[in-house]
Amino acid sequence: MTKIVRRKIIPKGQTTKSVSTMTLNMDTQGNSEEKKNSKKEEKENFIQKTGIESKVEREEDTVTGGNFLKPSIGSFNELNTSKKRQREKRTFHAVLSNKKSKQNKQGKAEEYDDEEKQGEKQNRFTKETFDLQAQDIIDTYATASHNYQSPCCIQYLTELVKQAMRDIKFNDSWKEHIQSTSRCLPNGFVAMTLLQYNGYVLRLHHFNKKTSVDGLHSHKWDFESMILCGRLNSENWSVIDPQEKNTNATAVEQTTTAKFLRKREEGDTTKTTITLLEREVHLKLDEKISVEPGNCYFFPAGKVHRVMKSTCATATLVLTHPKYMDAILYDQLHEHIFDEGKESETQTPPKATLSELNQFIDLCIHTLYK
């Protein structure tokens, strides 16, 4: 270890009070002044070239004889200023990002509000262009839906309806056509037809706070459905043998009903006839299902189900496939009083009013563009 010697140097003409005590390193005693002068010159040259002071200065340790890094006061100020600017920059970008996300969420609604105020925006869709594009989607994907028992087609049709819905709102002739094909049932169910093509039917269904439960029934066609808003609650049932009725009767919900053939006359979308087939049929509950908005499902023909009461307004887009079996209704016999094998004609349900149609279109637009 280097030996340290401390000396008091008293120049001529000065007293001991005016003399400072100096610590000298024996290894660097002769060259200390030259090194200081060279470092000073390097620093001045660096400042002249760059315009800033170096963030770190290297000084000699006169105690140990080694070198250590000593940050200058100016370097701390520069670092603090730099970090502050970085924080301000990150904060600025975060605020800007939040503003952009809010604008994206509100943009669609604002765009719709502007169009509603103007009311004269040139339509992107007419009924003819909509029909052509929907037919192309059905030709491309509907067969896959049937083969795989999966909702392959309804997702693309939903995107098409989303694009066309605002144009329907401002197209009076299109709305009149939809109104003419609509039907309203006493339980709060409204069906509106958008397209009929090669046995396929595209409809909008509105369950406006249903007040009663549907009877158990099966359909004559496959269908696929997309929930646009609300929540669709339903139950799936299956027919069982009479011997199976008493098995696990307490564990599984069961019921006994009559069986009817439900037939709608060709070319008439409202006139329906019901024929009694069997007086006693036994069924059991398989599962309860609740489908949320944005989800879709496929339902095969012949499967027994019923739609439950709805506590909120629910809208669905439904594509029914071509018929390939009979539609069956499972209901209590006293609800349909007539002899077995004879037909009973149901009352023709009323059509939706223009006001109801406009309210439903606004609901769909608000849901699809929020």
Share of the chain above pLDDT 70, in %: 59
The tens digit of pLDDT for each residue in 327-356 reads 999 988 766 655 444 555 556 778 888 888
Q: Which two tokens stand for residue 254?
A: 């069961």
Q: Give the mean model confidence (pLDDT) for residues 68-85.
A: 53
Q: Which two tokens stand for residue 319?
A: 């594509």
Helical axes 172-180 vs 127-148, angle rounded to 10°: 40
**Which residues, listed in sequence order, are joined to residue 273 by a DSSP beta bridge?**
263, 345
Question: If phi over 0 gives left and psi between -120 and 50 gives alpha, with beta otherwise, what is residue 230?
Answer: left
E-strand ranges in 308-365 read: 313-320, 327-331, 343-345
* 117 vs 314: which has the higher pLDDT: 314
The tens digit of pLDDT for each residue in 117-162 reads 554 445 478 999 999 999 999 999 999 999 999 999 999 999 999 9
Beta carbons within 8 Å of 242's beta carbon, 6+ residues apart: 282
* Whole-number average pLDDT of the chain: 75
* 89 vs 68: which has the higher pLDDT: 89
Q: What is the residue whose two structure tokens read 């819905």? A: 165
The tens digit of pLDDT for each residue in 151-185 reads 999 999 999 999 899 899 889 999 999 988 888 87
Q: Which two tokens stand for residue 124?
A: 């992107």
pTM, full prediction: 0.64
The half-sphere exposure of 118 on its side-chain side, counting CA atoms within 13 A, is 12
Q: Are 312 and 207 in contact (CB under 8 A)?
A: no
Q: Are 192 and 149 in contact (CB under 8 A)?
A: no
Beta carbons within 8 Å of 85's beta carbon, 6+ residues apart: none
pLDDT for 334: 66
Beta carbons within 8 Å of 175's beta carbon, 6+ residues apart: 168, 169, 354, 357, 358, 361
